[in-house]
Amino acid sequence: MGTKQDIEEGVEFAPKFDDNGLITAIAQDSQSGQILMVAYMNRQALDLTIQTGYATYFSRSRQKLWKKGEQSGHVQKVEQILVDCDQDCLILKVIADAGQCHVGYRSCFYRALKKNTDKKLKLIADKVYDPKKIYRKQS
């Protein structure tokens, strides 16, 4: 590991994986800037993403590598990978088709907290596909 200054000011890519061997990765539409989803990568998922040019994550619930779109077909072509100051978080700038969230929306962030409340959400997007149709195919 380098010094704090190396990590923050240097040009050596030294991604910092947490105690579970994971790093947070944000998929952001490279054109619109919309944040599509947040997931996690282990070293192997990151290497595969760099090598193939398509986003691969590590599923915490299934405890296995997960090429985004392997079931749904909704892959993410990675245009650029950004890293933050302390190198414990990545942004993937991606080109992706319409439906990126398994619930049926373009983005996983389809709800916002209502103004003047701390408990109620409102929908801010419409579904762009029917997940039942997509995921049923595979089972």
Residues at the contact surface with a copy of itself, assessed by CB under 8 A: 8-13, 24, 26, 28, 32-35, 37-38, 47, 50-51, 80-85, 89, 91, 101-103, 105, 108-113, 117-124
* Phi, psi torsion values for 90, nearest 5 degrees: -120, 150
Nearest distance from C-beta of residue 114 to a copy of itself, angstroms: 8
**Pick 81 or 128: Cβ nearer a copy of itself:** 81
**Pick 40 or 75: Cβ nearer a copy of itself:** 40
Neighbours of 135 (CB within 10 A): 12
Nearest distance from C-beta of residue 92 to a copy of itself, angstroms: 10
**Pick 14 or 70: Cβ nearer a copy of itself:** 14
Pairing of strands 89-96, 23-29: parallel
Contact 106, 72 (CB under 8 A): no
**Pick 53 or 73: Cβ nearer a copy of itself:** 53
Strands (DSSP E) contained in 42-116 are 56-59, 64-67, 76-83, 89-96, 111-113
Nearest distance from C-beta of residue 109 to a copy of itself, angstroms: 4
Closest CA to 27 of 101, 87, 85: 101
Nearest distance from C-beta of residue 24 to a copy of itself, angstroms: 6
